[in-house]
Structure 1
Amino acid sequence: MVYGHGEKPLHISLPSLELAAAIRKGGANQLIAIEVTDGTRELVIPKDIQRDPLRDEIVHADLLIVRRGEKITTDIQLSFTGEVEKGGLVVHELTAVSVEAEATHIPESIEVDLEGLAIGSQRLVSEIAVPDGIVILTDGDQTVATVSEPRGEATEDEAEAAEGEEAAPAEAAAAAE
């Protein structure tokens, strides 16, 4: 279905393989030029894609008509880069953020730098650097990623303390003999 700009929604049929290839190549925010039933060409962006769960084929897509220079609201995936403090485990709280951007300048993803993030710290939405012309609409106080200590693994101090506790009874038993 194609809709937007006050136009009556159009139900059209597109070659699913070509549509899937365009989305796979350019991501979910790929601008696509299509020819509608009356022969006019429209610039559209996928808004909702439904797939067959068994065959992973597109069975339905809602396509929003956009104009060059127009700002739209959409979700953009986050890509995480950088190494956190040694021994830290990154927990991704968000994988995408809602943004307002010009329809023809939507990036495939937004990079979130985690370089040097210490165990126990977090990266907030407000700390994400975005390209010019992009405004993040997701609440800036939301956590994007946290760095935690892996569970089940003792720290060096805890391991040394446990070894000391095990050695003390053995020394006491040897002294009693």
Structure 2
Amino acid sequence: MSEVRIAVEQRNEFGKGAARRTRRAGKIPAVLYGHGADPKHLSLPSVEFARAVRENGHNAVLTLEVQGSADELALTKTITAHPIKGYIEHVDLLLVKRGEKVTVNVPIVITGDAASGALVSQELTEVEIEAEALHIPEQVELSIEGLEIGTQLHVSDLKLPKGSTLQGDPEAMVVNISEAAASMEEESATEGEEPAAEEETSEEA
């Protein structure tokens, strides 16, 4: 994951009205907290922040260039989006230091194809891991290539990148591979056709 530099501004107005004015100006209200420091109220440039998240995921690490202050390193912790219109309403940022380890949720991406006739159910879409702030993986891949019906994969089956450690329940199920309903219906239909075929043979005889 690459480090992204973003120029931010400090906010001196608070409340819903101030937040709306910030968004109308093409910026996103944000709060930076952590390491026992007083929270800092900031505004992020909407376009640049959206690009950072798109290219680096929701755990994007930002170098915040604050006018009149030293640059600060921050992990994107929480992104609140409008439930209908989808634009970003607010962002929580966590102050971090180089070399520091953080706990984050990382997406699980399933790759490959299971055996023919299998139904693949992904029961878990994210896994909680601990990793160095500047080396957070964008995702963790789990291959199901060729796996047979009846196979179950758990968090303990995930192969985490070097330097990352599991924080979640290792017994939590990630993938369940069962028999596809269509396949079962075809078998039932085939079984139901057999007596009819026998009757036709009998009548012809």
Match of 2:92 among 62, 65, 76: 62
Render the CA deviation track for 1:116-150: whole Å, top value 9, x for unaligned: 21111111110111111111111111110111111
1 or 2, which has the higher strand percentage?
A: 2
Render the CA deviation track for 1:61-105: whole Å, top value 9, x for unaligned: 000011111010000001111121111121110110000111111
CA drift of 1:166 comes to: 2.0
CA drift of 1:10 comes to: 0.8
Whole-angstrom CA distance in 1 between matches of 2:125 and 2:196: 45
Three-state SS of the structure 2 residue aligned to 1:13 is: strand
Q: What root-mean-square deviation, in Å, do the aligned CA atoms of Structure 1 and Structure 2 show?
A: 2.0
Match of 2:42 among 4, 7, 12: 12
Written as runs of structure 1 = structure 2, the 5 A alignment for 1:1-177 is 1-36=31-66, 38-154=68-184, 158-171=188-201, 174=203
TM-score (norm 2): 0.79
The aligned amino acid for 1:161 is E
Identity of aligned residues (%): 41
TM-score (norm 1): 0.90
**Structure 1: segments with no counterpart, 5+ residues:** none
The aligned amino acid for 1:165 is P
Whole-angstrom CA distance in 1 between matches of 2:185 and 2:159: 34
Whole-angstrom CA distance in 2 between matches of 1:67 and 1:79: 29
Q: How many correspondences in the alignment?
A: 175
**Structure 2: segments with no counterpart, 5+ residues:** 1-30
Whole-angstrom CA distance in 1 between matches of 2:117 and 2:183: 10
